[in-house]
Structure 1
Amino acid sequence: MASYGLFLVLATLTVLSPGPGVVLTISNALRHGWSGSLPGIVGIASGAFIVAGICASSLGLILAASATAFTVLKYIGALYLLYLGIKMWRTQRFIPELKATSPRPWRRFIEALSIQLLNPKAGFFFLAVFPQFIKPAADYCSQFFLLVSSYSLLVVVVHSGYALVAQAARGWLSTNKGARIVGKLSGITFLGFGVLMASASK
């Protein structure tokens, strides 16, 4: 498999970027503690696995089709990363206003699962970025399982980290200065990887 380490970096950056799942994890952690946020985190990770299966199940045929297909997917992935970079650069508020969450663990799981299934971030990642890390000549299923499992595990690790630091960091991240610093750093990182992906060869 090509560039597994780079895949982990890109996946980590994608999971780290603020979105509905991150906001839900922070909400759960602030209201129910770290352990209380775990059902939601597992729900988000499970949703990511399901989305990956839906989006990536037929990519083996696409990759084997032609060099043109690879080039098209490469530029789609690069554009997606550049879009995320611009979006993060323009971030004005890192943590939106938090909504109340369910007091029951199973409901927090279902709520998080639903949010992830409806969140386009994971879908775009597996449609646009995922193909760049699959070797057409190697066994597709084993590569698919490794990459998707790695992504889901990163969701658990990253969101657990968010939950642990949520209360301590909430005040700073809610300030204009904190939002600008995090947004600019994240934006530059995504833009850089977008340029690298655009210049990659098969």
Structure 2
Amino acid sequence: MTNTYWLYIVMVIFTVSSPGPGVLMTLDNAIANGWRASLSGVIGLALGAAVMAGLTSAGIGLLIRSSQPLFLFLKYCGVAYLFYLAYITWNRDVRQIAQQAANGQRGDQAGRWARLLRGVLLQTSNPKSLLFFLSVLPQVVESTSSGRPLPLPVAIATYCVVLILIHAVYAALAARARTWLSQPKAARLLSRLSAAMFFAFGITMLSLKF
């Protein structure tokens, strides 16, 4: 179990720290709202991951993977949500963000529950999360390399904790850049880049095959 667990941790760290929609959302929240406010979105991502892992363990994930209509529905929901994030990021008031960043205030009006919900929706609408849990969880939970499998609750809790820790670091680093946002041109550039990346992730998700 020890070897399996540490191998699983390495896989989770690599997966969670890799650039993706979740990482971009955390960076965007931290820059617009500060480190503390961005943590609600991080918690939402962790809750979404727990939901996806739970559905996978219940066999629902396998059902989705074996059914092309369900898989396509999930994929297009995820793509639509990424396009929506790209739209609102592109059109937000960058001058207000710049002024609030200079004063150390939040850059948008979304509350903590709204950011938490965004995190949950982003994670649960991402087919990549489903495919990760379908391919990795069965291997570590059913592993017998040391005579005992890794308990499913431990595997899910580990993923969530690692996600929170890594995204908290990302958010702390991004929050330090808020001073740079006191310049409207810089705020506009960052907003446009973030929107373009959300859109690019949506296009990439469209290429996922059943």
- Per-residue CA shift, 1:149-196, capped at 9, x if unaligned? 443123211221133333x32422xx2x22321111111111111011
Aligned length: 170
RMSD of the alignment, in Å? 3.8
Q: Is the 8 A contact 2:53 2:130 kept in 1?
A: no
Q: Distance in 1 between matches of 2:193 and 2:104?
A: 30
Q: Distance in 1 between matches of 2:181 and 2:80?
A: 31
Q: Is the 8 A contact 1:74 1:132 kept in 2?
A: no
**Are positions 1:18 and 2:34 aligned together?**
no
**Are positions 1:120 and 2:98 aligned together?**
no
Which structure has the larger Rg over C-alpha atoms?
2
- Per-residue CA shift, 1:131-154, capped at 9, x if unaligned? 444252542547745653443123
Q: Distance in 2 between matches of 1:62 and 1:7?
A: 26
SS in 2 for 1:17: helix
TM-score (norm 2): 0.62
2:168: which partner in 1? 156
* Structure 1: 5+ residue stretches without partners: 26-39, 102-113
Question: Residue 163 and residue 182 in structure 1: after superposition, are their counterparts in 2 closer, same or farther (change >3 A)?
Answer: closer
Question: Residue 118 and residue 95 in structure 1: after superposition, are their counterparts in 2 closer, same or farther (change >3 A)?
Answer: same
Q: Is the 8 A contact 1:89 1:184 kept in 2?
A: yes
Q: Distance in 1 between matches of 2:45 and 2:208?
A: 27
The 5-angstrom pairing of residues 80-159 of structure 1 reads: 80-93=81-94, 94=97, 97=100, 115=112, 119-129=116-126, 131-139=129-137, 141=152, 144-145=156-157, 147-159=159-171
Q: Is the 8 A contact 2:44 2:117 kept in 1?
A: no
* Structure 2: 5+ residue stretches without partners: 1-10, 106-110, 139-151
Q: Is the 8 A contact 2:47 2:160 kept in 1?
A: no
1:73: which partner in 2? 74
Which residue of the other structure, out of 29, 46, 51, is the alignment partner of 2:47? 51
Aligned partner letter, 2:60: I
Moved over 6 A (4+): 98-101
2:60: which partner in 1? 62
Aligned partner letter, 1:15: T
Q: Distance in 2 between matches of 1:48 and 1:41?
A: 12
**Percentage of matched positions with identical amino acids:** 17
